[in-house]
Amino acid sequence: MILGAVVGIFLVSLLLKVPVAFSLILASSIPVFLDPGVRIAMMTSRFFAQMRSFPLLAIPLFILCGKLLGAGGATDDLVYISKVLVWRLRGAMAQVNVVASIFFAGISGSSVADVCSIGTVLIPGMKEEGYSAEFSASITAASAAIGNIIPPSILMIVYGAIAQTSIAALFLGGIIPGILIGLMQMIYCYYYARTRNVGGGEYNKKPTIEMKKKALKKAIFPASIFLIIIVGITSGVFTPSEAGAFAVIYSFVIIFFVYKKRNIKTYINVARQSAIDTATIYILICGASFFAWVLTYYRAMMPIVNLVQGAGVGQVPFLITIAILYVILGTFMEPASAMLIFVPLLRPIVTYLAINPVALGIITVMSIRVGTITPPYGLSTLMAAKIAEVSVPKMMKHILILLGFYMFVVFVLIFFQDIILFLPNIFL
């Protein structure tokens, strides 16, 4: 009865549009009043235990690094590099959108940050080139989902802390899947541009030698940050938190002394926004961790565990099921909260089926992150729609097509998990 009350109040709170963090805390507090075996001290101790998780210290550092780079003009550099790389492709402006998102993913780790940075630069230009507002917004939102697949990824850090899985292995495992998603989106961009006869203008010209040299020069700073993070973590020189701290210091030094961005108010605003974003994530983490503890305390998943063991369900059917589950959850829940609730609950089944934790982590992050492009929670879609000045319903045709490409890659990875494990097996 108490478990039913917990779940029921949580769902009702979501329907009433109570913020997810407060919905989790409200529902989790029910046993404190109804069950004499649960005390409020358990809630507070759970909060602080989660806050003390060392891997989670990397989250504010990577958020700050991404915002520093945005303030320092790295977004414009990444867009220029992308133009030079895909200048001759059909639909090059849309292709630039996808490639720039892949590059930006390697230094920010945030899908919403990707939309804000890339979208404000490219969406107006795409509309001028003849692309519809709904397509421009849709490809921007969909390509931004790569931000949590290619390292550094905030969601991978959260997953690694919950599941006690190597974050270095998760970072390496996300590189190939992220590139595959990008390639699928680029194919759709080519198809759209060819069938609608758009994408002309300057992007059909061949880049000059001078442009290539300029692009190479602009690539040094972003590429060096990515290499510092990945090589440092995989070689054991840095922990993820230490890599984040070094990336912040390195970015600040380059932006302040080389790029000569010396407006102190800019850095104060960057620090303020990073603190707000970090606080939002940590409140969600705390609320979700206690909610997961309550569900575990009342053995909410035992019937499903018994069903899986009795029915002889294999790895592939189980992974397909949880991928679909996470996609549904991501449409109305914040991804970090959903992971904090369900990853610990599913751990007995994962252990029983002997699923590789790195492969499971990548599939989990990819499936749950797609919620940023699917309404009603789709923050990336809402942000892109606002920038493009178009309604979300008009975007749904393109969103569904891009979602289909995205899930196709997820299912391929479920059947061929060695694609995920290829780089971790080589470097680790």
Distance CA 9, CA 194 (A): 50
Q: pTM to 2 decimals?
A: 0.85
Quickly list H helices, 370-391: 379-388
304-325 residue pLDDT tens: 667 766 777 788 998 998 898 8
The number of CA neighbours under 13 Å toward the Cβ of 155 is 31
| Burial letters 74-106, b for 16+ CB under 10 A, else e | bbebbbbbbbbbbbebbbbbbbbbbbbbbbbbb
Please enumerate, as own/partner, the contacts of 199-202 that have beta carbons within 8 Å and a separation of 24 or more. 199/90, 199/91, 199/92, 199/93, 199/94, 199/129, 199/130, 199/131, 200/129, 200/130, 201/93, 201/129
298: DSSP letter: T
Neighbours of 46 (CB within 10 A): 18
pLDDT at 418 > cutoff 70? yes
Tokens of 150: 């290619």
The amino acid present at 38, given as its one-letter code, is V
pLDDT at 135 > cutoff 80? yes
255-305 residue pLDDT tens: 888 888 888 888 899 899 888 888 888 888 888 878 888 887 777 767 766
* Gap between the terminal Cα atoms of the chain: 47
323-351 residue pLDDT tens: 988 888 877 777 877 888 888 888 888 88
pLDDT at 22 > cutoff 80? yes
Distance CA 145, CA 177 (A): 12
Task: Name every residue whose Cβ is closer than 8 Å to that of residue 119 and which is 6 or more positions away in sequence.
Answer: 137, 140, 144, 383, 384, 387, 388
